[in-house]
Structure 1
Amino acid sequence: MGTDTTATPHVDAYPTRDKASALTESPRQDPVVWPGGPPGPLSPAELDRYGQRGFHTAEQLLAADEVSAYLDELHRLRTEPSLRDDERAVREPDSDEIRSIFAVHEISPALARLAGDARLVARARQILGSEVYIHQSRVNYKPGYGGNGFYWHSDFETWHSEDGMPRMRALSVSIALTENLPTNGPLMIMPGSHRFFVACPGSTPPDHHRQSLRRQEIGTPGPAAVRRLADRHGIAQITGPAGSATFFDANCMHGSNSNITPYERANVFIVYNSVENTLTEPFAAPGRRPEHIASRTFAPVSSGPSPR
């Protein structure tokens, strides 16, 4: 395990919430594809497209037997008695059903192997231009007949405000362990929205994560900002077969609908942050979020060879 090497506090490059001015939207100040990174599997054309759109999907990155094994692990975790009252398990806003489980790479050896898989880590290093560590990992469950959605938001706005992430030098990987259909609440991204920072209204209350992880309100843009971004960039649905992985920039405006179909949607999310972008104190919150949501162990991921 690494040590807490929290970065020296930075000037707030992205004021938001009660620190925001009247200007709610401003140009991004950081690269999207960072220079100086190690070589990796993404071609120059793929990196350029990632820079323009803010996301890249690797179709069927995992083989069918891997998908089956990981999906079994997700189902096991969801029914694990020891997690029922664990703060890492987040409930649906309107029921007692588990919505998400955080720090899954620490709970599950199988998901730890996935988080360190060279097929994921090599792409993250290539895009972020450095070694990376795991800022956050989670499973999002969206069962059939009522899995709730996630409202439009930029992850970076939250990670900056509530975790103290200084710059836009992080990305998420969403690994689909079920088919992501247009109808079962797939990830939606506004392509190109990552090139603008949208400040959000409101003030962050203490222990905000207890509410926001179930239903986020503070840290979401106003309707006018959402409409402006959607009109400018459009909305892409991230669909595809199980085993696909979508890498997307921390500042992409994204969300998902509820799932009222019979077909479950289950995804694992791994968030990789540059070791040169470690957390300071929160920029717009009264205190740090728990370690299982925002890790302050900045040890670089040691990736082993991929099994394929």
Structure 2
Amino acid sequence: MEITKEQIEDYRETGLLFIPELFSTKEVAEMQAAVEDLSKQDIPGRILEKDKKTVRALHGCHNNSEIFDSLIRHPSLLASACEMLNSDVYIYQFKVNLKAAFSGDVWPWHQDYVFWDEEDGMPSPKALNVAVFLDECNEFNGPMYFIPGSHQQSLIHLGQKDSSEIPNNWESNVSAALKYSLDNNTIAKLTHKKGIVAPKGPAGSVLFFHSNLVHGSAPNISPYPRRLLIITYNSINNIPSFKGKPRPEFLVSRDHTPLKPLRGKVLI
């Protein structure tokens, strides 16, 4: 897959680019199997929901899985990221958000870059998220909501910081009570101007979205799981300063080696 100039222009305007069914059914099945296997292991980066038994997320699992280690170098993903960021890139974060059937919890409205700036010292939002649908994403199972065009302004000063109800640790960056979330009034004003979109599509679809794009998702009360794999590529010209104690390696990679695309057989 090669992205076009028109697609890049649309991404720069809206902060989003959706590519349906980039991966085959067989490739998705292999990724699903890897997620199921890792979900059963007590590994660093395995995050549970409030019930302490449902897996909410798996962080840094490209270091524990051959197929995910290959995925970050997939030519269609990597080349597109380099073109969008206009530079070589490295892996900043890798995670799978598992919004389980009946019990997947909310992700409050937020921008990703505030976490990376405040917690890691990332100089600018020159980073890109690539989401791979591991299940069909529909109107029932907690699809991601986005406010198109909201990446064009920073809302960090409106973020929720060190609330007395939110612990000041890395767990507050990945829980349903996010450390830096946006209030209802801000979201209402943004959506009045720009609206809300919820990209939906079959498993194997891919969604590129900007690190400053406002997004969130509702709880999943449907019988359908919504597993979403998210790769964050960062420009090699945008390496964080890591002031203070860095967050765990499974949350923020400190390997800044520029990625090179795999050739030939990529996943399976």
Per the normalisation by structure 2, the TM-score is 0.93
What is the letter of the counterpart of residue 118 of structure 1? Answer: P
Partner residue of 1:131?
Answer: 88
1:268 to 221, 229, 232: 229
Partner residue of 2:129?
Answer: 172
Measured on the aligned residues, the alpha-carbon RMSD in Å equals: 1.8
Q: Which has the larger radius of gyration?
A: 1
Residue 71 of structure 2 aligns to a residue in which SS?
Answer: helix
Do the aligned residues in 1 keep the contact of 2:115 with 2:173 (CA within 8 Å)?
no
Do the aligned residues in 2 keep the contact of 1:148 with 1:257 (CA within 8 Å)?
yes
Mind listing any 5+ residue stretches in structure 2 that lack a counterpart? none
Deviates more, 1:127-136 or 1:273-282: 273-282
Q: Could you report, residue by residue, the CA deviation over 1:11-62 in whole angstroms, capped at 9, with x for unpaired residues? A: xxxxxxxxxxxxxxxxxxxxxxxxxxxxx81111111100111010111110
State the identity %. 29
What is the letter of the counterpart of residue 299 of structure 1? Answer: T
What is the letter of the counterpart of residue 101 of structure 2? Answer: G
Do the aligned residues in 2 keep the contact of 1:193 with 1:252 (CA within 8 Å)?
yes
What is the letter of the counterpart of residue 132 of structure 1? Answer: V
Partner residue of 2:47?
Answer: 90
2:201 to 198, 216, 240: 240
Residue 177 of structure 2 aligns to a residue in which SS?
Answer: coil
Deviation at 1:198, TM superposition (A): 0.3
Partner residue of 1:67?
Answer: 28
Partner residue of 1:252?
Answer: 213
CA distance in 1 between counterparts of 2:184 and 2:178 reads 12
CA distance in 2 between counterparts of 1:306 and 1:228 reads 48
1:46-61 equivalence runs, <5 A:
46-61=7-22
Deviation at 1:100, TM superposition (A): 0.4
Partner residue of 1:120?
Answer: 77
1:230 to 1:287, Cα distance in 2 relative to 1, 3 A: farther
Residue 124 of structure 1 aligns to a residue in which SS?
Answer: helix
Residue 154 of structure 2 aligns to a residue in which SS?
Answer: strand
1:300 to 1:222, Cα distance in 2 relative to 1, 3 A: same
1:289 and 2:247 are equivalent in the alignment: yes
What is the letter of the counterpart of residue 71 of structure 2? Answer: L
1:1-308 equivalence runs, <5 A:
41-80=2-41, 83=42, 86-199=43-156, 200-203=159-162, 208-282=169-243, 287-305=245-263, 307=265
CA distance in 2 between counterparts of 1:307 and 1:143 reads 31
Do the aligned residues in 1 keep the contact of 2:109 with 2:217 (CA within 8 Å)?
yes
Deviates more, 1:217-226 or 1:269-278: 217-226
Do the aligned residues in 1 keep the contact of 2:54 with 2:100 (CA within 8 Å)?
no
CA distance in 2 between counterparts of 1:217 and 1:117 reads 31
Residue 136 of structure 2 aligns to a residue in which SS?
Answer: coil
What is the letter of the counterpart of residue 228 of structure 1? Answer: K
Per the normalisation by structure 1, the TM-score is 0.81
Q: Could you report, residue by residue, the CA deviation over 1:235-277 in whole angstroms, capped at 9, with x for unpaired residues? A: 1001101100100000000011111111111111100000000
1:306 to 1:269, Cα distance in 2 relative to 1, 3 A: farther
Deviation at 1:297, TM superposition (A): 1.3
Do the aligned residues in 2 keep the contact of 1:117 with 1:306 (CA within 8 Å)?
no
Deviation at 1:96, TM superposition (A): 2.1
Q: Could you report, residue by residue, the CA deviation over 1:178-205 in whole angstroms, capped at 9, with x for unpaired residues? A: 1001110011111000001102143388
Residue 97 of structure 2 aligns to a residue in which SS?
Answer: strand
Q: Could you report, residue by residue, the CA deviation over 1:93-119 in whole angstroms, capped at 9, with x for unpaired residues? A: 233221101001111111111111111
CA distance in 2 between counterparts of 1:306 and 1:229 reads 44
Residue 242 of structure 2 aligns to a residue in which SS?
Answer: coil
What is the letter of the counterpart of residue 129 of structure 1? Answer: N
Aligned length: 262
